[in-house]
Amino acid sequence: MLIQKILMSQKIAEKIKCKHGLDPIVAKEVLEGYSTCYIGKAGGDNYMAIGLCSAGYVTVFFEYEAGTVEIKTAYTSSNWQIDLYKKKRG
């Protein structure tokens, strides 16, 4: 997967900040370091990325099409997501 462009609507950015208590920049930070995060298929064109960044472990759900990523949501990773990341990334 080659990520060339990362998009996030203002509505999604507000949701990430208000509902999940994360700075929306963190979601982009995880995807910008996509070579070091775990990415798994979540169905259709949807994917889940789990990465370690300045805010700790963060899970990002996004759509991917032709090099463009559109972030749908992001939140602090749960214990099972952290375990999955550690297992897959070593």
- Verdict on whether the full-model pTM lies above 0.85: yes
Q: What is the pLDDT of residue 35?
A: 77
Which CATH code fits 5-89?
3.10.450.530
- Cα–Cα distances in angstroms (integers) from residue 71 to residues 2, 54, 87, in the given order: 15, 18, 24
Q: What is the pLDDT of residue 24?
A: 93
Boundaries of every domain in the chain: 5-89
Nearest-angstrom CA–CA distance, 16 and 68: 20
What does the pLDDT look like over 41-71, one tens digit per residue?
998 889 999 999 888 999 999 999 999 999 9
**Window from 20-24, 40-44, 73-77 with minimum mean pLDDT:** 40-44
Q: Is the pLDDT of residue 5 over 90?
A: yes
